[in-house]
Structure 1
């Protein structure tokens, strides 16, 4: 292997290995329960009410993630017209942080 290919492959390997600490972190159910009990995050029913008021439709997926020291819910909703809407909501307030349509 040529030296510049070896350097590129090694760099790519390091980026892939570091990918999980750089990405949003998923939480287990015990952590979620504790966050809910201490009031650091809202219950899913309240978050879904907020999401439905922004984008009516059927829930496709919901995840609680931790990133940059904050918690957020990532919600995917299937709208009546067949489009998927991805909402990112602040977990403590259910305020919409980001909205994308697929």
Structure 2
């Protein structure tokens, strides 16, 4: 195996390990975080996501923990049928990502 091949494999493995860090949270974990005030309510986060695209409907949601941070992922469909992927900081409610699904 040459150095370039080894470098590419090592890079891919490192990227894969980074992706594996994100995990979905279970209901009991979410309740503990809500009770502790660590994250905002899912209703409040959903409302913040909907405010970015008025008239949209939520098609899917996920709360994930990655590198010690909590992110709420929301899929929306607007009135024109366009799909949107949003990601919010579950602690502050800040919209981190807002892009059209391709």
TM-score for the superposition, normalised by structure 2 = 0.78
Matched with 1:22 is 18
- 1:10-66, Cα deviation, whole Å (9 max, x unpaired): x59x83xx84x5221111111111001101111111111111111120100000011
Matched with 2:68 is 69
DSSP 3-state at the match of 1:61: strand
Runs of 4+ in 1 over 6 A off after TM superposition: none
Matched with 2:44 is 46
Q: CA deviation at 1:71?
A: 0.3
CA distance, structure 2, for counterparts of residue 61 and residue 78 of structure 1: 10
Matched with 2:79 is 80
CA distance, structure 1, for counterparts of residue 51 and residue 99 of structure 2: 16
Aligned-residue Cα RMSD (Å) equals: 2.1
Matched with 1:99 is 98
How many residues were matched structurally? 93
CA distance, structure 1, for counterparts of residue 28 and residue 18 of structure 2: 23
Structure 1 unaligned residues grouped into runs of 5+:
none
TM-score for the superposition, normalised by structure 1 = 0.78
